[in-house]
Each structure stands twice: as structure tokens, then as C-alpha cells.
Amino acid sequence: MTDLARSLANISQTEAGPKRKRLALVASKGTLDAAYPPLILATTAASLGWEVGIYFTFYGLDILHKDRYQKLKMASLANPAGPIRLPNLIGAIPGATAAATKVMKRWMKRSRMPDVTEFIEMAQGLDVTFFACATTMGVMGVEEGDLIAGCDIAGAAKFLDYAADADVQLFV
């Protein structure tokens, strides 16, 4: 390497600064309890200066759906670690999901945790990229206009390119 090339390389490294860490998350579940982990991880990493992207696929798209994200439910059926620990037979009784959802929301409020809407707003304010899976949108009949503002419609290849450069990749 010539002295000129070495100098130019040093200048470009100095201007660019250190490489930001990147987090790539996949959110595939659309229940109230499943919405929190990717949003908590994303806002935490972004507040630490990381670049963050969440790929919402299958039922995870409900977290971005205008008509659904504020109505996410917490199932008591087949959820032994849920807020209401019930045998499956009792968890199938009408009203059990509503009760579990109410308890989960009360837990989060008592813990002073933001609700899903607030987490979405915080994430967007921290420049977290919301990737909505284009394939899932087609399969489930979800249109771009059905999603909250600020979503990036992306196929699997686009997200995989993003994730390939991530320091941390998580499927939550």
C-alpha cells in the first residue's frame, strides 16, 4: 500500500468513526406477551447507539397492523407461564383470554412499563427500522395501507442482507 493510499484509508476511517453495532430481530408472534421482547430489545439497543431492525413476519405483522396492534391479546390456553396459570381445560373457557390480557396489562402498568403503542413510538423515535415481511403480507392479505406509518416492506432476501451485517441476530 502506498503512503497516499494509507493516508486516504486513515482519513476515511477517521471520518466514518467506529462502526455502529447492529441488531437484527425477527418477530413472528402477534400476541401481547410476544410483542414486548422484540420492542424492549430494540429500544434498549437503539438507546445504546446501535442500529436496529425488526423483521415482522407471520402473526408478528399484527404488531404493525393499524387495526390490531392496540388489541393484542394474551392467551391463557397452553401458556403455562402466563399471568393466569390455569389447566388447559379451564383456559379454554370463554373469557379466560380476556382475563389473562387484563392481568398482563396490569402487570406491565404496575411495573411502569410502556404499553405496546408507546414502545412502537419510542422505537420509531430511536430510528428502529420496522421491516414488514412482503411474503407474509401477500399470504395474509395485508396491504401496505393496513400497517402503521414508517414500515419498510421487505422480502426475506432484503432482511437477510440486513441481518448478515448484524453483530447480533435474534428470533424472538
3-state DSSP of 44-107: HHHHCCCEEEEEECHHHHHHCECCCHHHCCCCCCCCCCCCCCCCHHHHCCCCHHHHHHHHHHHH
Please provide the average confidence, as pLDDT, over all residues in the chain: 88
Residue 18 CA, distance from chain mean position: 26
Structure confidence at residue 11 as a pLDDT band (50, 70, 90): very low
- pLDDT for the residue numbered 96: 77
**Domains of the chain (ranges plus CATH)?**
21-70+114-171 (3.40.1260.10)
Question: pLDDT tens digits, residue range 90-147?
Answer: 666 787 788 888 988 999 999 999 999 999 999 999 999 999 999 999 999 999 999 9
Question: pLDDT tens digits, residue range 38-81?
Answer: 999 999 999 999 999 999 999 999 999 999 999 999 876 656 66
